[in-house]
Amino acid sequence: MYIVTSYPFAIFLCFITMLCWGSWGNTQKLAGKTWRYELFYWDYVLGVLLLSLIFAFTLGSSGDAGRGFVEDLKQADLGNIGSAFLGGIIFNAANILLSTAIAIAGMSVAFPVGIGLALVLGVIINYMGSQKGDPVFLFLGVGLITIAIVLNAVAFKRASSGNQKVTTKGILISILAGVLMSFFYRFVAASMDLDNFVNPAQGMMTPYTAVVIFSLGVFLSNFLFNTILMKKPLSGEPTNYKAYFKGKLPIHLVGVLGGIIWGIGNSLNLIAAGKAGAAISYGLGQGATLVAALWGVFIWREFKNSPKGTSPMLALMFILFAAGIVSIIYAGA
């Protein structure tokens, strides 16, 4: 299987993760013009699962290093399989809430508040599990990003002053999504031997196998979570499976593309974690908040016609996010 052997390249892969995790929401925005986000989400999870299998049978099965996907799956301990599967269930619950928050509040709020919070809590949780990196610079970066999250929430509240109900609901759902999102990565990372991808311990999995099990957890749990949400949505009117199967192929492909984009980021991030460490790899990947906020502000114009003084607040938010990301990178150098 393919293994990352240098820290700089691991960081490069984390930046690709950042772009992927921060950009998949654009597919929901595109589909959302004519398509309920609950229906979009079915195609999204199919894309996540499809990408994990593509990586497992290509990069995860070629070369002489490590264990190939099929061999690795056969020897995996049930406890580690269960850990990665649980990570998928937790992620799916969090991501459905995040999709709801995007539909209500937009990308420039749902991502910085929800995923920004997931970054802060997730770095702490993953550092406790695998202590790689300088804690001073690591948590300095986390602190800067925390301030950026607060600024974003304040800016959104100002911009939505005419609709207090939407403001509060969008932020609260984003916060709940962020708390849940902070835990999924630790369960997936715990199923892998992060210290030795070349000769992983017996019973533990390579990142390629762990991602497939994780993706199965996402897909199967969707039959419970998304079915409930379709019948009792947090926003908008109820929908059903009949509406899903009436959708035309292009609209389905947009959702699958969204899942593939997210899945590429997820796979590359876990591959990089062996060299960068789980806390740094996860923290940089969740710098996706900055990417998503850029999309929301400059492409989707979600802060258009905001009150005077909002633009400087957003500019400071971006500066603090960037400074926090640089500090996290330096922590592992």
Query: Is 266 part of a structural domain of the chain?
Result: yes
Distance CA 271, CA 220 (A): 24
Per-residue pLDDT at 68: 93
φ, ψ of residue 205 in degrees (nearest 5): -110, 160
How many independent structural domains does the chain possess?
1
User: Which residue is it, tokens 């400071």?
Assistant: 316
CA 274 to chain CA mean position, Å: 18
pLDDT at residue 164, rounded to an integer: 53
Tell me what pLDDT residue 260 has.
97
167 assigned to some structural domain: yes
> Which residues of the chain fall short of a pLDDT of 50?
none
Q: Looking at residue 161, what is its pLDDT?
A: 60
The pLDDT of residue 162: 53
Please tell me the predicted confidence (pLDDT) of residue 248.
94
For residue range 279-299, list pLDDT tens digits in order. Answer: 889 888 887 777 877 887 887
Q: Which two tokens stand for residue 302?
A: 């979600």
Residue 225 domain-assigned? yes
Give CA–CA dist 48/191, Å, rounded.
19
pTM (two decimals):
0.86
Q: Which structural domain, as residue segments, surrounds residue 62?
A: 7-331
The reported pLDDT for the residue numbered 148 is 84
User: Would 1 be classed as within a structural domain?
Assistant: no
**Residue 188: what pLDDT?**
97
151-193 residue pLDDT tens: 877 787 777 665 555 567 888 898 999 999 999 999 999 999 9
Q: 245-273: buried (b, 16+ CB within 10 Å) or exposed (e) per residue?
A: eebeeebbebbbbbbbbbbbbbbbbbbbb
